[in-house]
Chain A
Amino acid sequence: MVLASIIKRAPTWLVYLAGFIPAIYYIWAGVTNQLGADPIATLENALGEWALIMLIAGLSVTPLLRIFGVSLVKFRRAIGLVAFAYVVLHFTTYLWLDRQWDWGAIWGDILKRPYITIGTLAFFLLLPLALTSNNRAISKLGAHSWRKLHRLVYPAALFGAVHYALLKKTWQLEPLLYVAAVVALLTWRWVAKSKKRRQAELAVSS
């Protein structure tokens, strides 16, 4: 298959390169005053949205393999790290440009504003995943517990999408589509897993 051989030959740094294009564009546009009337919110929202897109891309790797036989598995770590970088940039925009390091206000937001509470939870769920996204951590943890730990990406992505849906003034279509996408990916994973378990049980009993 042509696609498979292209994927095989493509270096993973391409993911970093392509993944960071939006970040570079938005930061450059922000610094050169081209982000319109409300540049802080525009930058903050764009980085948050790209974080979510990248998280969803990472979650799509396995279904793409199982359903379509397209393996992007070798890019998955890069996709996840790019997603985390967007979360960090988004969080930094909030702390620095939006809240200007006003820790009283930040702490108040985290405690009182459900959408910020949930976003912060998502950040702290992703943090250990980013720190263990290297070969040394995998061999140190062992594949089994490493995989178990990295299941935290599911609640993190869900929290990220819910965080988005909660911050709009009304229920709007776009954030709900993100929530729907994450829920669909989680459901697929759950169904696939219980099917596998059933097959394993059948294999044992026969």
Chain B
Amino acid sequence: MPVYKYPMPLASEITSHSDYLNRRTFLTGIAGATGLAMTPFLGEGSAHAALKAGKSEFSTDAKPTSRQDITTYNNFYEFGTSKSDPAANAGTLTTRPWTIEVDGMVNNPGTLDIDDLLTKFPLEERIYRFRCVEAWSMVIPWVGIPLSALLNKFDVQGSAKYVAFETLVRPEEMPQQRSLFPPLEWPYVEGLRLDEAMHPLTIMAVGLYGDILPNQNGAPARLVVPWKYGFKSIKSVVKMTLTESEPPTSWNKAAAREYGFYSNVNPQVDHPRWSQATERKIGAGLFASRVDTLMLNGYADQVGSLYSGMDLKKFY
């Protein structure tokens, strides 16, 4: 099998230097002028793009799902288990100040501030297919930063093999964290193998449709790993820890037989209770047919080599 070479455009090819600088001024301008009011202002979803992001060769040509559907049909169990709960309840989440702690097997442990993520890193638009383990799918225009660019700031140690991720715990703002019958154990935790985390497709998303991320989609920063089922793309991240052993993951803890550590999109490996061979395309309407699910969600050329020699039925 020929080795696939990722297209690696230079950052300057994507965004000109002057645009890049302008974006900074523009953003710091907004942040300075409106202070804390920034979140609700941008969160309203004004028609113009608030974030300036370069295009990416990794984006699909498929037509993105409507903003309405992407922001009203969510799984974010901290805010409730029905698809409409996050949009209804996540308004209470305060996303400033917000830092992501990076620790574990790194030589420079430290923190990332959300405003630095928005202003000090080149943002890219990544239009990705998104496949939920529940057999529905969307096409989502994320804005984000390759995760490798963030992790590299902290000088990852050679013996680190995994990255563990953690979501915010704030029961005052997240109703299901106060529930007597929580659907999952908190905090929500996820993990990737280091090579998966460093893969150029893996991003920390900070925006959607050119605006900052709406709360229900995992504001202010969430992971996006487009070849894995959606629940791997952990939301509202507050911590990343480099580890040597495989970290625990929330859905695996809830039902190990049904949700593995890898959870790669794979039409040939069914969920024990339903088939993964096909998916319903969100936004296609009442009479639309299902479409076939693609191996690794259509990213097999880019990421297939990460799993060569592995039995994907065993490492589901």
Residues of A at the B interface (CB closer than 8 Å) are: 30-31, 33, 35-41, 43, 97-100, 105, 108-109, 112-115, 166-170, 172-173
Contact = CB atoms under 8 A, between A and B. Distances in A.
Shortest 10 CB-CB contacts between residues of A and residues of B: A37-B73, A37-B69, A39-B286, A37-B282, A173-B181, A30-B286, A170-B183, A100-B289, A170-B254, A38-B282
Contacts of B134: 169
A33 B286 contact: yes
Contacts of B274: 109, 113, 167
A169 B259 CA distance: 10
Contacts of A173: 181
18 contacts: A36-B69, A37-B69, A37-B72, A37-B83, A37-B283, A38-B280, A38-B282, A39-B285, A39-B286, A40-B288, A97-B286, A105-B277, A109-B274, A169-B133, A169-B251, A170-B81, A170-B254, A170-B255
B136 A167 contact: no
B289 A33 contact: no
B148 to A, nearest CB: 31
A43 B65 CA distance: 20
Nearest to B82: A174
B293 to A, nearest CB: 13
A35 B282 CA distance: 12
B63 to A, nearest CB: 15
Contacts of A115: 273
Interface in B265-308: 270, 273-275, 277-278, 280, 282-283, 285-290
Interface residues of B, number: 33
Interface of B: 65, 68-69, 72-73, 81, 83-84, 133-134, 136, 181, 183-184, 251, 254-255, 258, 270, 273-275, 277-278, 280, 282-283, 285-290
Given A38-B83, A38-B136, A105-B277, 12 more contacts: A31-B286, A36-B69, A36-B84, A37-B68, A37-B72, A40-B288, A97-B286, A99-B290, A100-B289, A114-B273, A170-B184, A173-B181
Nearest to B250: A170
A40 B281 CA distance: 10
A43 B81 contact: no
Contacts of A113: 273-275
Contacts of A114: 273
Among B65, B134, B277, residue most surrounded by chain A Cβ atoms (within 10 Å) = B134
A40 B280 contact: yes
B83 to A, nearest CB: 7
A100 B183 contact: no
